[in-house]
A and B are shown apart, each in its own frame.
Chain A
Amino acid sequence: MPHRTFFKFIAPSLFVMLLFIALPILSVAYQSLFIEHEQILVEVENCGPFGCEKELRIDTEAMDRAMEESPMGRFNWLGTYANTSHLAFAEVGAIWRDSDGPVSALRAMLNLPFYKALIFTIAYTFIVTPLGMVLGFFVALGVNSIPRLLKGPVIFFSLLPMIVTPLVGSLVLFWMIDSSGVIGANLQLLLNDPQLSLKASPTLTWVTLFLYGVWHAAPFSFVVFYAGLQTVPGDTLESAMIDGASRWERVRFVVIPHLMPLATFIALVQLMDNFRVFEPIIGFSAAANATSLSYLIYNDLRGSETPLFGSAAATSMLTIIGVVILLMPVLIRTWRDFNRKV
């Protein structure tokens, strides 16, 4: 296809992607270098029936003028990245100087908002992704062996946790697990602990979120693995059997190698999706015990009265760097494959 025709065809698609994905990344990078104007205070004398009082007030006029002069706020260079709510260099330095061991130092770092979110996001990504894949694989093996007639309905119900809106799905589970929901209340009775609740301890909150994540992620692995199982070569299975391979050995040495390329694909997609974990934190009202990088950005923009654009942008940039690191192995591999092909 000549270049001209190609670009005519792809122009609309390329245009929206550049305008609403590439440009915002640049815009975020630029925004992260600024912070909000300081409040300009003026002293006013307030005279009432009981005499006069001096009072500090925000000078809205001066604020408006400052906003008009530089709508982005004050230039702060990389200051936002270094402050307490982001990389917190000063605090981290102090923690490592004063702590008596790496474990207690890590524990202390969990009090810093950015590191707390980062550690949760990484833990969520690398715990939920493999567990979801393992569960999906076993469900696929199971569904593959049931009678044909039942397969349709079973697949239908298995798809639901993935198809349903993440926020809605997490709410549905939250209402069951919460202290007055069916699972929560019965757990309290069973363990004889009326104080037991999701919000009681960070560990419990984390485990609940991980369980939700596996529940939400497993159907995708299931569907892809199930499709892969349909193409496992029957001849190879039979010859493995003649060679005396047990059932497990056949799964281990024939089925799993056959599904390996699919597993790489699933892992890639799930790593990308789990890294932006956000909705379950809202659904489970878990923000007190567990926050993710995406949640931090949302909170900066919607949590306070005036959106903290600078702070949100700095977290966004750090998140984007995280995504690029996450994708690096895939990108390098694809690049090598591509060069070999050409």
Chain B
Amino acid sequence: MSSKARSRSTTLVVFSTAFIVLWLIVAAFPFLWTVWGSFKVEADFFSRTDWMNAVTGPVTQARTGSAFTGAGYHGAWVEQEFWRAAINTLIVTVFVTLISLTFGTLGGYALARSGYRYTFWILMAALVFRAMPHVTLVSGYLLPFFQLNIWGILPTTIIVIVAINQPFTLWMLHSFFLSIPKDLDESAMVDGCSRFQAFRLVVIPVMWPGVITTGLFSFLLAYNDFTVTAMLLSQENQTMVPKIASFLGSTQAEGKVMYAVAAVVSAIAPLFLLVLFFQKQIVSGLTAGAVKG
């Protein structure tokens, strides 16, 4: 739209451009700095004498013969077995996303199509559940899980994260299914389909955009979770985030903080790619909740 109402004075353009540039530096620079620094040795990245050392890496050069070193990554992935944590994260996120979406689409569809009063109460209860700090719930599981002897394993964690995700998934898919016209599945039912058949044959083929968007957020919630995974997983089953937290205690003391830096960069990389490829879906997902909910 190039109408006059949207035109701007020069000072304002300069001011707002400067503001955006400043914001971009604040938002992105920490990550670029850490990615760059993860290929240096500790004396360079945490240089007390001159911050330019982290950029040029004189100590790295002196010690390894090149300005970049993969020592941090080697230490984290091989020595500290970060690959194990990466595999665990993969298992947890894939299963959480799949199960969350299966339960969520069924529930969200039912909530969007039923006109009874109790749907309101279920959605309200989900809102309250969504607000519960996760750590309060975990303190409720811990003792029963110890007694049932199911503490520390991946399946327990997966189902717990699925449950914690469920209120959010339900809300999101509920509002998505509301945007699919009712007539679609109802005409299928007039033609003799049962509710399940109508869902399977008519609704499932058109629901993928909403499901993929919701799936992205389920994935993010599972990937970023620290509370549940830190409390419910035993040492050898740890996922990436609690593993990084455990680096802080043990390896930092031994002067191996670069292991943690490398692990942190390794954990950021998949998220970077995710935003790169799914930016549109993430943005639309964030706004869908606001516009419809």
Which of B114, B130, B272 lies in contact with A272, CB distance below 8 A?
Answer: B130
Which of B16, B113, B166, B231 lies in contact with A17, CB distance below 8 A?
Answer: B166
* Contact (A224, B114) CB under 8 Å given A21-B164, A145-B13, A163-B274: no
In the complex, 5 of the A-B residue pairs with CB atoms within 8 angstroms, ordered by the A residue number, are: A1-B110, A6-B110, A163-B274, A269-B289, A342-B117
Which range contains the number of B residues in contact with the other chain? 35 or more
State how many angstroms separate the Cβ of B204 from the closest Cβ of chain A. Answer: 13
Please report whether the interface of chain A is mostly helix, strand, loop or mixed according to DSSP.
Answer: helix
The answer to whether the Cβ of A304 comes within 8 Å of any Cβ in the partner chain is no
The answer to whether the Cβ of B62 comes within 8 Å of any Cβ in the partner chain is no
What is the total number of residues of chain A having a CB less than 8 Å from a CB of chain B?
A: 106
The answer to whether the Cβ of B103 comes within 8 Å of any Cβ in the partner chain is yes
- B106 contacts A12, C-beta separation under 8 Å: yes
- A316 contacts B290, C-beta separation under 8 Å: no
- A164 contacts B106, C-beta separation under 8 Å: no
The answer to whether the Cβ of B31 comes within 8 Å of any Cβ in the partner chain is yes
Interface set, chain B 137-195, CB cutoff 8 A to A: 137-144, 147, 159-160, 162-164, 166-167, 170, 195
- A227 contacts B27, C-beta separation under 8 Å: no
- B163 contacts A158, C-beta separation under 8 Å: no
Query: In the assembly, what is the distance between CA of A234 and CA of B226, in Å?
Result: 44
Contact with A along B1-45 (1 / 0, CB 8 A): 101111011001100110110011011101101100000000001
* B241 CB contacts on chain A under 8 angstroms: 165, 167-168
Contact with B along A273-314 (1 / 0, CB 8 A): 001101100100100000001100110111000010100110
Please report whether the interface of chain B is mostly helix, strand, loop or mixed according to DSSP.
Answer: helix
State how many angstroms separate the Cβ of A23 from the closest Cβ of chain B. Answer: 7
* Contact (A238, B141) CB under 8 Å given A12-B106, A138-B19: no
Query: In the assembly, what is the distance between CA of A202 and CA of B1, in Å?
Result: 50
Q: Which residue of B lies closest to A16 (CB)?
A: B163
State how many angstroms separate the Cβ of A166 from the closest Cβ of chain B. Answer: 7
Interface set, chain A 12-42, CB cutoff 8 A to B: 12-14, 16-17, 19-28, 31
Query: In the assembly, what is the distance between CA of A188 and CA of B221, in Å?
Result: 37
Q: Which residue of A lies closest to B23 (CB)?
A: A139
- A175 contacts B103, C-beta separation under 8 Å: no
The answer to whether the Cβ of B54 comes within 8 Å of any Cβ in the partner chain is yes
Which of A31, A176, A178 lies in contact with B143, CB distance below 8 A?
Answer: A31
* B133 CB contacts on chain A under 8 angstroms: 275-276, 278, 293-294, 297, 319, 323
- A180 contacts B143, C-beta separation under 8 Å: no
Interface set, chain B 95-123, CB cutoff 8 A to A: 102-104, 106-107, 109-111, 113-117, 120, 122
* A166 CB contacts on chain B under 8 angstroms: 224, 226
- A175 contacts B17, C-beta separation under 8 Å: no
State how many angstroms separate the Cβ of A50 from the closest Cβ of chain B. Answer: 38
Query: In the assembly, what is the distance between CA of A185 and CA of B114, in Å?
Result: 60
- A265 contacts B30, C-beta separation under 8 Å: no
* B9 CB contacts on chain A under 8 angstroms: 247
The answer to whether the Cβ of B92 comes within 8 Å of any Cβ in the partner chain is no
The answer to whether the Cβ of A326 comes within 8 Å of any Cβ in the partner chain is yes
The answer to whether the Cβ of B63 comes within 8 Å of any Cβ in the partner chain is no
Query: In the assembly, what is the distance between CA of A300 and CA of B293, in Å?
Result: 37
Interface-located stretch among A53-61, A98-106, A148-156? A148-156
Q: Which residue of A lies closest to B111 (CB)?
A: A10
- B223 contacts A182, C-beta separation under 8 Å: no
The answer to whether the Cβ of A81 comes within 8 Å of any Cβ in the partner chain is no
State how many angstroms separate the Cβ of B239 from the closest Cβ of chain A. Answer: 11
The answer to whether the Cβ of A114 comes within 8 Å of any Cβ in the partner chain is no
